[in-house]
Chains A and B, each alone.
Chain A
Amino acid sequence: MIEIKNVTKNFDDFKAVNNITLHIREKETFGLVGTNGAGKSTLLRMIADIYKPEQGEIIIDGENIYDNPTMKSNFFFISDEQYYPKNANAKYLIQFYCSYYPGFNKKRCLSLLENFDLNPSKKIDGFSKGMKKQLFMILGICAGTKYLLCDETFDGLDPVIRQTVKSLIANDMMERGLTSVISSHNLRELEDICDCIGLLHKGGVLLSDELNSLKLNLHKVQFILKDNLTAEESASGIPDGVSVVYKEHHGRLITMTLEGNEATIHSWFQSMDIVFYEMIPLTLEEIFISKTREVGYNVKEIIF
């Protein structure tokens, strides 16, 4: 398990990560999402022991990670822009990582490289950006570590490769209990693979919960008013345990994002005097937009 306890990180006067507490359970895929500059990469780098937190601690399997090579052999970090030695090819990297990660599966790695149509003898400099990401993803999965940390790895992969990588991660999760922490702006992809989501904004955590729980608690409802009702009248009498996160109206069509129990919301709308209502499942992207809108981060605030 990865425990992030009250971690803070400053870059001079700027607080990149502000008192974050998160728990990442074993054998799950944790999606780290957030606005630009929220502190996702900084947090991942602290977990990977690249940055030292100003306050707090990061504990992996009961031990503090800072300068702890034994614990560090349990994870593999894939950066958004991965470094490789000059003139190196995939074969060299395989040999390199074999010496640091005893569980590295060389045979599987070469097989995957062949499946992904990546020449192991070709210099990495000759690969495109997407191919380099594929290569490091394969190396990370084949390292045989307990944890896999990915910083914006899906971004830059084509749809077919994205599906393939997701399948590989899911397969390793089932077979050997791999735990992955993936940060990405591609929420559509994360939605398919993640069990839990952590949403960061301006260095803090807006929410951290299982994806299913999030979807159970947040609902998008569209309804059409009768001629004789105003939007305010129709939205009166909100039941206990339900709150309006966001409301928008176009004439008689009202769209609301509500937080609360689904059954309660259903019964509320059934009791209302409206023409029609429909409950639409929220995507992760819509959850993201709703939650960040609550703290004032939305399109209208930025542009106008």
Chain B
Amino acid sequence: MLKKLYFKHIHRHIGTIGVYFILYFLLSNVSLMKSISTYLHNGRDISHYINGSLIFDFSNSLFLIIVMLSFIEAYRQFHYLHERKEIDFVYSLPVSRNWIFLSRYISGILCIIIPFILNMVIGFIIAGVYGASGYVMFHIFLVTLVEFLVFIFCYTFCVLFMIMTGHSLVYWCSLVLFNVIPLILVQVIQLTLISKYKEWKLIAESGDGNPIAYRLLKDIDNFSPAYLVYHFKVAFDSDYDSYGYYDFRNHFHKLTEFIPLIVVYTLLLFTVIFLLYKMIRTENCGRVLSFSQLQRPLQIFFTVISGIAIGSLSGYQAEVTYPISYSLNVPFYLLSTLLSIFIIHSMFEILFCGEIKKIFRHKWQLFICTGVTFACSIQPYLYYQRYH
């Protein structure tokens, strides 16, 4: 069945595999050759360079591309869930729905694994030509494996978004919302608050009494692919010393810890998406969400989170602008928080109903979100009051 579903039509994927290969090749082996040629130009011993530093390692741009490819590939493979005509076509075929899901999922992975393997082989050849040891070869293999696992994790996560959403635009917006915004907001809040208050830094580092706002955003952040990729990269970057060399043993130790973690996380995620896929109602194709029961919880969740984040930041901004009088913070903080709650809540109402006049459809929900948001976001300022 898998052969019929995928391999007979593999020629339609060859173009995509080719593009991925070229992209990966340019960012990995071509940039590697560039750094080697720069090193050679300086007249240094190349085999010492290759065996001493981790030039066959993770690069920022490559990680970013891996995450982007996972977004694209999940969309490409499961696009039929968002198109009425296509879902009619696919589901009317004499194929079990489970097989349709598995073939699409595996298809996405195969589109990436082929370029990864080819580039890894090219990496082996380059390393071999310049006298790399077996240790370095093994490291190339391990790096490729980790990049591949990161891709599968991100890809599985994006498939979850494809299943949960019913419309392509909603998929792309929710990816940005879930990956980029919490990551940026956590970093911004951390940097702004910690730089302003020394006491805050102590609190944040000890983890004791961290404001709810910060904790909530961190929790969301923990579940996003962008967080995993960013923090993984940061953790490994910190192993470099000032000469650009590092401790291989420590590096391998971290990698071996990371690999089982990501495998377990991915397997759990796969189980969740498989179960959700079986529960999808075909008629929800084209709607905002595939599971309409999630509309209210998601609306409340994003309204509160956005309100907290914007409220915390606006309060800080007000204080920077008016350092003399603390009382000037309050109106600015109140206004910006209220405005953000109203705008986000209304946006979701319009998204779900399609009508502007229904933005006050759930007034009690709006009041509750406002209450919860203020209760969470006022906390940093109570801490400030305590220390001053």
Contacts and interface: CB of A to CB of B under 8 A. Distances in A.
B91 A83 contact: no
Nearest to A72: B94
Nearest to B92: A77
The 6 closest A-B pairs by CB, nearest first: A73-B94, A83-B89, A72-B94, A77-B92, A83-B85, A48-B92
A85 B12 contact: yes
A8 B99 CA distance: 27
Interface of B is mostly: helix
B88 A50 contact: yes
Contacts, number: 53
Contacts of B281: 52
B86 A101 contact: no
Nearest to A66: B97
A227 B273 CA distance: 79
A94 to B, nearest CB: 13
Interface in A63-87: 67, 69-70, 72-73, 77, 79, 81-85
B4 interface: yes
B35 interface: no
Given A83-B83, A83-B86, A85-B12, A51 B93 contact: no
A48 B83 CA distance: 17
Contact of A67 (B87, B89, B96): B96
Interface of A is mostly: loop
Contacts of B89: 79, 82-84
B304 to A, nearest CB: 26
B283 A67 contact: no
Interface string A191-224: 0000000000000000000000000000000000
B14 to A, nearest CB: 13
A69 B91 contact: no
A69 B94 contact: yes
Which of the four size classes fits the interface of chain A? 20 to 34
Nearest to B96: A69
Interface string A83-126: 11100000000001001110000000000000000000000000
A79 B94 contact: no
Nearest to B4: A99
B249 interface: no
Contact of A50 (B8, B12, B87): B87
A304 interface: no
A79 B4 contact: no
Given A69-B99, A77-B88, A99-B4, 7 more contacts: A50-B87, A50-B91, A50-B92, A69-B94, A72-B95, A79-B85, A100-B4
A155 interface: no
A70 B94 CA distance: 7
A101 B97 contact: no
Contacts of A77: 88, 92
A293 interface: no
A70 B95 CA distance: 8
A162 interface: no
A11 B282 CA distance: 11
A81 B88 CA distance: 10
Contacts of A49: 91-92
A12 interface: yes
B88 A45 contact: yes
Nearest to B86: A83
